[in-house]
Amino acid sequence: MYTIVTGAAGFIGSNLVKALNARGVGDIIAVDNLTRGDKFRNLADCEIADYLDKKELVDMLAAGDLDGAVEAVLHQGACSDTMEQDGRYMMDNNYRYSLELLDFCLDQDVSFLYASSASVYGGGRVFRESREFEAPLNVYGYSKFLFDQVVRRRLAQTDFSAQVAGFRYFNVYGPRESHKGRMASVAFHFFNQYRAEGRVKLFEGCDGYGHGEQRRDFVFIDDVVGVNLHFLDSGASGIYNVGTGCAQSFNDVAVATVNACRAAAGQAPLSLAELQAAGAIEYIAFPEALKGKYQSYTEADVSLLREAGYEAPFATVEEGVARYVQERLKA
């Protein structure tokens, strides 16, 4: 029996494949679009049974070629560019494709775990898995929101027994995201900036926040993987936030990144004020293109996640970034 991982050569997908391998799972069908061929590196140290392009997978499902041969689908494949303006492409790739996979899993009684996004909450201040708090700011967020609504309707039905679990990822960072370019995490960009220039650049204040004080729920990739594996084991269904439950500032990420680099060089840590004074942290104008489309604050309400039995602690920015920098320095 196969486990299908879509977006398998991407950031979260490849980390899931690696974690499944660590469990002894090798019968994995990796699905991804390798138009960006450099993404293959994320799978080079992983064991898979086969690779399929998205279209190949859809055709095989429609033809019944995988009927009775799949035990779980971990659907991470999506266009995650929040600045993408082509709504037709976004809806086809993120919404329609997800529907086809959901229909297959419900028909085959196969576990379906999929990536949603905290972007469904838009500019709100309450991040709880309930319709009244959801108001996406862009078509990416809308594509995720719309699929979540379908899942809610399906979960309200009682005529199927398959597991369906959606995960609203907050700001995920960690190894295997290098291919994402400008869409990679701020920790990734801060590391590269500091190594190249000896400084990191943050946005000036906006939405009532001071310079670098916009706050997000930054979640380390190992914790995201842990949540997925927990639900794969438990069989629980529902839609869940996946974040630490504790917002931290971009300044916190910058300080953690610089100090992790300094520690690797045998240097003592410095405070935010000391790093600002030394020119290691500076602020640039907030981009016009992001105004009105930017989440200046996110903080996951993880009550439902905990109620579903996930009890493991989440790494703080200081802990997760330190581990990430150690990995980056080995690259």
Which pLDDT value is given to residue 82? 55
Least confident piece of the model among 108-112, 154-158, 199-203: 154-158
Q: How far apart are CA 323 and CA 329, in angstroms?
A: 10
Compute the mean pLDDT over every residue in the chain, rounded to the nearest whole number.
93
| pLDDT over 80 at 99, yes or no | yes
- Give the model's confidence band at 85: pLDDT under 50 very low, under 70 low, under 90 confident, else very high: low
pLDDT tens digits for range 204-252: 988 889 999 999 999 999 999 999 999 999 999 999 999 999 999 999 9
Residue 86 confidence (pLDDT) above 70: no
Q: What dihedral do alpha carbons 245, 73, 324, 206 form, nearest 10°? A: -50
Catalytic residue among 18, 54, 180, 293: 180
The DSSP H or E segment spanning 99 is: helix 97-108
- Selecting among 2, 114, 121, 140, the annotated active-site residue is 140
* Residue 79: how many other CB atoms lie within 10 Å: 19
Burial class of 132 by CB neighbour count within 10 A (0 to 12, 13 to 18, 19+): exposed
pLDDT in tens, 33-50: 887 778 899 999 999 999
Reported as a single tens digit per residue, the pLDDT across 249-283 is 999 999 999 999 999 999 999 999 999 999 999 99
Mean of pLDDT values over 52-79: 94
Q: How far apart are CA 196 and CA 86, in angstroms?
A: 34
Q: Does position 89 have pLDDT exceeding 90, yes or no?
A: no
CB atoms inside a 10 Å sphere around CB 100: 14
- 3-state SS class at 2: strand
- What local confidence, expressed as pLDDT, does residue 316 receive? 98
pLDDT single digits (tens) 173-203:
999 999 988 889 999 999 999 999 999 999 9
- SS3 call for 190: helix
Confidence of residue 160 (pLDDT cuts 50, 70, 90): confident
Q: Does residue 140 carry a catalytic annotation?
A: yes
pLDDT of residue 185: 96
pLDDT score for 239: 98
Model confidence at 123: pLDDT above 80:
yes
Range in 4-13, 33-42, 51-60 the model is least confident about: 33-42
69 pLDDT higher than 80: yes
Q: Is pLDDT at 161 greater than 90 in this prediction? A: no
The reply to whether 54 belongs to the active site is: no
